[in-house]
Amino acid sequence: MVATFRKRGDAWRVEIFKQGVRRSGTFDTKAEGITWATRVENEILSGKLIVVKEAKTLADVLERYKNDVSPTKGGARWEIVRIEYFIRSMKIIGARIDKITPDDISKWRDERLKSVSRATVNREMNLLSAVFECARREWRYCSSNPVRDVTRPAATPSRDVQITDAVADKVLAFLSYTKGADPKEKRHMIALAFLFAMETAMRAGEITALTPEHVFLAKRYVKLPKTKNGDSRDVALSNAAAEILDIALKIGANPVFNLTADGLSSLFRKYRDIAAESDPELADVHFHDTRHEAITRLARKLDVLDLARMIGHRDIKSLMIYYNATATDIAGRLD
């Protein structure tokens, strides 16, 4: 047994030194200490716990990750902003990364939950975990990832806002746009982007990044060279989607919709909030709701593999919520 056990008062102190990795812990009973020591030794043997090559603070590691890793990702902008917030605000920012414990992360999590949603904390924990994993595997700055041993906040219920045809018509009304018309104002381009999202389930960032050289109307698809998950994908176009693109292309802008992602979101909210003063039904409509609505509609037309390919989902199981056919519906397809 590599671990040593010492009784100190009512507690047991357990120390492990194996393959250059040193760990220690205090437990109420020797049995608890043996269980912990066995797990730690297995992690050392499997390579999950490694020798630290160089001591770095969390601030050092976040800076390196921000400069070297984040720019290679599809969501680089959000990630860099979030890392800069970590550097400014985390109380443990000056601690050596190999000394940070799950208790430290738990305290940070609980403090964040006082000011932001559970979903936000989950996203931030995903980012922190990725930083620790990179520091452990690639840079050898720490031998474990403390985020992995911290309980995540329970997920918030997903939004279930349905954009019916009636709601979609109201959106077009507050954007002063008529289907098929040439765009004359910025808000008309927002309306075209909204209609295009409803047809394709593309994200706001994907729509606003679309450039003319990646539009293939004759073959009825657009190419997205880089998406949120880092992959490229081709998105098939319905007749309606192709017609919307044809209208947008007439203005000759590059990118096609002549909008930024931030501009699209902020202007959509601006016009929605004005309209919601007289129609409260619109108050809870977000541009991103188009994706859920579009996927729901596409699920009635496409099988799950084609749907996953079109919208860029890697986990097919996550799409099953959009397939709500009854046994009678399925039976009808069998004939």
Strands of the sheet with 21-27, listed across from one edge? 4-8, 11-18, 21-27
DSSP3 helix / strand / coil % (the chain, rounded to 5): 55, 10, 35
> Which residue reads 């202007």 in tokens?
267
Nearest to 211 by CA among 202, 219, 222: 222
> DSSP states of 176-243 as a string?
T--TTPPP-SHHHHHHHHHHHHHHH---HHHHHT--GGGEETTTTEEEESS-TTS--EEEE--HHHHH
**Is 7 a catalytic site residue?**
no
Out of 73, 309, 313, 322, pick the active-site residue. 313
Out of 203, 233, 272, 292, pick the active-site residue. 203
Output DSSP code: residue 52.
-
Angle 62-64-65 (CA atoms, 0-180°, nearest 5)?
A: 65
Distance between CA atoms of residues 271 and 252, nearest Å:
25
Out of 64, 73, 99, 228, pick the active-site residue. 228
Sequence letter at residue 266? S
Q: Are the beta carbons of 164 and 71 closer than 8 angstroms? A: no
Q: Are the beta carbons of 240 and 199 closer than 8 angstroms? A: yes
Count other C-beta atoms under 10 Å from residue 233's C-beta: 18
Distance between CA atoms of residues 75 and 204, nearest Å:
13
Out of 30, 152, 184, 323, pick the active-site residue. 323
Strands of the sheet with 215-216, listed across from one edge? 215-216, 221-224, 233-236
**Is 203 a catalytic site residue?**
yes
**Is 148 a catalytic site residue?**
no
Which residues are identified as catalytic? 203, 228, 313, 323
